[in-house]
Amino acid sequence: MENSKQNASLRDSCSVSPWQNFVVDSSEKLIVAEVDLDKMYDCLIIGAGITGITTALLLQRSGQACIIAEAQQPGFGTTGGTSAHLNTFFDATYAEVESDFGRDSATLLAQAGKEALSIIKGFVKDLSIDCDLESKSAWLYAENEKESKQLKEILEASKRAGVEVEADDKNIVPVPFDSVIRYDQQGQFHPLKYIHGLLAEFIALGGLLLENARIRENIIEDGIHTAISNDLTIKAKNLVYATHIPPGVNLMSFRNAPYRSYVLGLKLKDENYPDGLAYDLQEPYHYFRTHIIDGQKYLIVGGEDHKTGHEDPERAFQNLKEYASQYYEVESVAYQWSAQYYVPVDGLPYIGQLPGVADGIYVATGFNGNGMMYGTLSGKIISDLVLGKENEYTSLFSPSRLKPVAGFTDFVKETADVVWHFFSDRFSSEELQELNDLKPGEGKLAKFEGRQLAIYKDDCGKVTALNPICTHAGCTVQFNAAEQSWDCPCHGGRYDVSGKVLNAPPTKGLDAVLISYDVRP
């Protein structure tokens, strides 16, 4: 693979996405201001992905004094590893939303999708952001009779919701199909160029960005948040967790299941790059699109998603390569990367006031595979809530919603799994494994001197031992060989091989354990 293990510190991952080169190559550095410790900010936004930055910019534009605290660098999380689709249809289909939430809700969702797309287009135009934004049609195809029945339901429900879609007779990818539908006016862009454009405007308007500032604690007194990061304290009237799941054990931990998604950037031997977006209906699904970076076309192929910490990521990459090679003449794999997203139990994201805590704490999570759209929409909804403005989507996406119960089957399935890990992992131990058996770059759980440890061997043969108990809520982490990380199967917390937090909700790293064992050659 051509672009492997470079710039790894720019993302929560060992693998490199094609978007990361922009950050390295960009001569335009963001000005990161000093925090004014005496100042009372209107809003502290935690997380500088698309959700946090959109929220911050909309608030700053409305005259609010905002500060973004990012644990690493902007786009370090899923925004730096997205496949960057801009769709007005979602992983929870209009047929599902209509059935589970009612027809009005499906119509409202369609409207929300159009609004999110128009916010992105508006920013790109107003701020002249050069982010490869292109309008594309999207084809959704069925490969058998059963899928065709599902596709027909999606087509009809999409139309009822007010989305422009029609049956087509051609597909843009060389996969045999039974039926296909087409949504026009969809899009794609370069996510890091886009958020850097928003950030530049946020900073120009007086907003503050703090990098490498993980918020470890938030104390609320008289409605004021005092957030503590390293040796800094930040005071704010409102606080937004744009971090997927907020830290600590809260309702969101049990209403969302973490998934990993896999993507390849392929160079082809011929010019058969699809002009548009294409998606199948398989489980897990696949998608295709084309992106041109520095004059080079790449076929972006994604899918093979699975719950974090549950399956073999290397196998997922291999499956994806084999799948793509069935249909395309692949010259080389230029990129392969994976990213994390959260599946909400009833299909729709949770955007708004975090339930069960003081007023003025907001959350945006459960975006499924539609993070660029829901992240943008979250910016609009949360900024309206902070500003005390009406927003017609608040009830549909409310994090406090208890109904409908149509997602109940999934809810039981997802949370049962979380609960199983939550309780049993703390008391079970893996078999004793000999450290000598570890290969360089390999990690595993092992019982050592009566204690379960997360053991990792680096390329020099040096072994690092960590306490494998996730600092969030006590589940046992699993090794992710593809990303060289320790991933928690409960709520998606992830750590690098030294134990440092890569993905919230944990805020504290895994403790190192001293072991007296030398396996160096």
Binding mask of the shown chain, residues 130 to 169, with x at each position contacting ligand FES by CB under 6 A: ----------------------------------------
Binding range to ligand FES, per CB under 6 A, among 144-152, 272-280, 367-375, 487-495: 487-495
Give the integer Cα–Cα distance in Å for 52 and 375: 8
Contact between 473 and ligand FES per CB under 6 A:
yes
CA-based torsion, 49, 55, 58, 59: positive or negative: negative
Contact between 470 and ligand FES per CB under 6 A:
yes
Residue found by looking up tokens 């502290």 in the block: 44
Give the integer Cα–Cα distance in Å for 105 and 94: 9
Which residue number, 301 or 501, has a Cβ lying nearer to ligand FES? Answer: 501
Give the integer Cα–Cα distance in Å for 43 and 57: 11
Which residue number, 120 or 488, has a Cβ lying nearer to ligand FES? Answer: 488
Give the integer Cα–Cα distance in Å for 407 and 390: 28
Which residue number, 245 or 463, has a Cβ lying nearer to ligand FES? Answer: 245
Nearest of 394, 396, 404, 369 to residue 257 by alpha carbon: 369
Contact between 505 and ligand FES per CB under 6 A:
yes
Report CA-CA distances (Å) from 14 to 240, 294, 502.
28, 23, 11
Binding range to ligand FES, per CB under 6 A, among 221-229, 312-320, 348-356, 465-473: 465-473
Nearest of 376, 517, 399, 384 to residue 448 by alpha carbon: 517
| Cβ at position 258, least distance to ligand FES in Å | 8
Nearest of 212, 422, 293 to residue 16 by alpha carbon: 293
Residue 469, phi then psi, degrees to nearest 5: -80, 115
Instruction: Find the binder of ligand FES among 339, 475, 501, 510 (CB under 6 A).
Output: 475
Contact between 106 and ligand FES per CB under 6 A:
no
Instruction: Find the binder of ligand FES among 234, 490, 497, 501 (CB under 6 A).
Output: 490
Binding range to ligand FES, per CB under 6 A, among 131-139, 148-156, 235-243, 470-478: 470-478
Residue found by looking up tokens 């790894």 in the block: 8
Instruction: Find the binder of ligand FES among 506, 507, 509, 510 (CB under 6 A).
Output: 506
* Helix H or strand E encompassing 78: none
Which residue number, 75 or 506, has a Cβ lying nearer to ligand FES? Answer: 506
Which residue number, 246 or 492, has a Cβ lying nearer to ligand FES? Answer: 492
Residue 206, phi then psi, degrees to nearest 5: 100, 5
**Overall residue count recorded for the chain in this entry:** 521
| Cβ at position 481, least distance to ligand FES in Å | 19
Terminal Cα distance for the chain, rounded: 28
| Cβ at position 50, least distance to ligand FES in Å | 22
| Cβ at position 421, least distance to ligand FES in Å | 8
| Cβ at position 228, least distance to ligand FES in Å | 21
> Do 445 and 468 contact (CB within 8 A), yes or no?
yes
> Do 373 and 299 contact (CB within 8 A), yes or no?
no
Give the integer Cα–Cα distance in Å for 49 and 30: 15
| Cβ at position 422, least distance to ligand FES in Å | 7
Which residue number, 369 or 492, has a Cβ lying nearer to ligand FES? Answer: 492
| Cβ at position 490, least distance to ligand FES in Å | 4
Contact between 510 and ligand FES per CB under 6 A:
no
Binding range to ligand FES, per CB under 6 A, among 96-104, 233-241, 263-271, 488-496: 488-496
Q: Say how many residues touch ligand FES, by CB under 6 A.
A: 12
3-class secondary structure, 250: coil
| Cβ at position 53, least distance to ligand FES in Å | 24
Give the integer Cα–Cα distance in Å for 51 and 92: 20
3-class secondary structure, 85: strand
| Cβ at position 500, least distance to ligand FES in Å | 15
| Conformation bin of residue 315: beta by default, left when phi > 0, alpha when psi is -120 to 50 | alpha
Give the integer Cα–Cα distance in Å for 468 and 490: 13
Tokens (6 digits) for 147: 């899928």
Contact between 260 and ligand FES per CB under 6 A:
no
Report CA-CA distances (Å) from 447 to 65, 352, 428.
51, 43, 11
Contact between 324 and ligand FES per CB under 6 A:
no
Residue 471, phi then psi, degrees to nearest 5: -75, -5
For residue 182, the Cα-to-chain-centroid distance in whole angstroms is 26
Contact between 246 and ligand FES per CB under 6 A:
no
Contact between 493 and ligand FES per CB under 6 A:
yes
| Cβ at position 251, least distance to ligand FES in Å | 13
| Cβ at position 425, least distance to ligand FES in Å | 9
Binding range to ligand FES, per CB under 6 A, among 23-31, 271-279, 452-460, 469-477: 469-477
Instruction: Find the binder of ligand FES among 67, 70, 472, 479 (CB under 6 A).
Output: 472
| Cβ at position 475, least distance to ligand FES in Å | 4
Give the integer Cα–Cα distance in Å for 409 and 343: 14
Binding range to ligand FES, per CB under 6 A, among 35-43, 404-412, 434-442, 472-480: 472-480
Which residue number, 189 or 422, has a Cβ lying nearer to ligand FES? Answer: 422
| Cβ at position 418, least distance to ligand FES in Å | 8
Give the integer Cα–Cα distance in Å for 279 and 303: 10
Site for ligand FES, rule CB under 6 A: 470, 472-475, 488, 490-493, 505-506
